[in-house]
């Protein structure tokens, strides 16, 4: 059964204090691993897709990396506007090669203090 | 740039009433997904459509839930005889069939009193 575990559940950082969020996953055949940002009361906002171990993607202060068992979202010199819940999700291949729904973790709630 | 839109954004209803939500996907996207999210949890998959065909339904989707996408464009999600446990954020997402990235709408927050 597909499983996604995110840690920590909550993280408080001072502005400029870099850190990493972890996403451990178990999936029968990984088609993609996704990172989303979600602000309170809003829908998830797509950030990155990673497809294979060793892949890295960057966007502004965020960098996502992928291994065969986990993914990290590194936040460099965060600002208060980076405060949000960061969700990790996996998408598995089906036997027929199709891939459908996303399976989400419970997220990491990040607070960046000025 | 028109993203996924959902209507209404908030719905308060009494237990036992029926409710219907609408989702308009990104115009060129032929896949449309419904998810449900409760407080402190990640979104959970409910069902998805490719064009007008409903191709998969989660075990979470009880008989009181029905979804349609009649012309392969917008979709509706109806909940009959609502229960307090149905209170959640209902999220719609869309994607292209050959690309895995799903783009979410703002959600409809349902409160059942």
One pLDDT digit (tens) per residue for chain A, 114 residues? 778 999 999 999 999 999 999 999 998 888 899 999 999 999 999 999 999 999 999 999 999 999 999 999 999 999 999 999 999 999 987 655 555 789 999 999 999 999
CB contact under 8 A, A102 and B105: no
In 3-state terms chain A splits into helix, strand, coil percentages (rounded to 5) of 5, 55, 40
Non-local (6+) Cβ contacts of B62 within 8 A are: none
A108 touches chain B (CB under 8 A): no
Q: Give A40: exposed, middle or buried? Use CB within 10 Å, 0-12, 13-18, 19+.
A: exposed
Using a CB–CB cutoff of 8 Å, tell me whether B83 touches chain A.
Answer: no
Q: What is the pLDDT of residues A71-101, one digit of tens each?
A: 999 999 999 999 999 999 999 876 555 557 8
Tens digits of pLDDT across chain B (113 residues): 589 999 999 999 999 999 999 999 999 999 999 999 999 999 999 999 999 999 888 888 889 999 999 988 999 999 999 999 999 999 999 999 888 899 999 999 999 99
What distance in Å separates the CA atoms of residue B88 and residue A28, rounded to the nearest whole number? Answer: 29
């Amino acid at each position: 059964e597909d499983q996604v575990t995110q840690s920590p559940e909550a993280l408080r950082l001072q502005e400029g204090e870099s850190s990493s969020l972890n996403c451990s996953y178990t999936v029968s055949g990984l088609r993609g691993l996704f990172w989303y940002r979600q602000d309170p009361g809003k829908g998830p906002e797509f950030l990155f897709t990673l497809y294979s171990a060793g892949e890295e993607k960057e966007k502004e202060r965020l960098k996502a990396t992928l291994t065969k068992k986990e993914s990290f979202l590194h936040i460099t010199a965060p600002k208060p506007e980076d405060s949000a819940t960061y969700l990790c999700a996996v998408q598995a291949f089906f036997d027929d090669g199709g891939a459908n729904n996303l399976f989400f973790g419970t997220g990491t709630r990040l607070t960046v203090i000025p | 740039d028109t993203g996924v839109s959902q209507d209404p954004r908030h719905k308060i209803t009494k237990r036992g009433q029926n409710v219907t939500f609408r989702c308009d996907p990104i115009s060129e996207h032929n896949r449309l997904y419904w998810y449900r999210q409760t407080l402190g949890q990640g979104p959970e998959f409910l069902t998805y459509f490719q064009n007008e065909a409903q191709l998969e339904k989660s075990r979470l989707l009880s008989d009181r839930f029905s979804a349609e996408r009649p012309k392969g464009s917008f979709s509706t999600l109806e909940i009959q005889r609502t229960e307090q446990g149905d209170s959640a954020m209902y999220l719609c997402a869309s994607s292209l069939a050959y690309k895995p990235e799903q783009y979410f709408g703002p959600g409809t927050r349902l409160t059942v009193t």
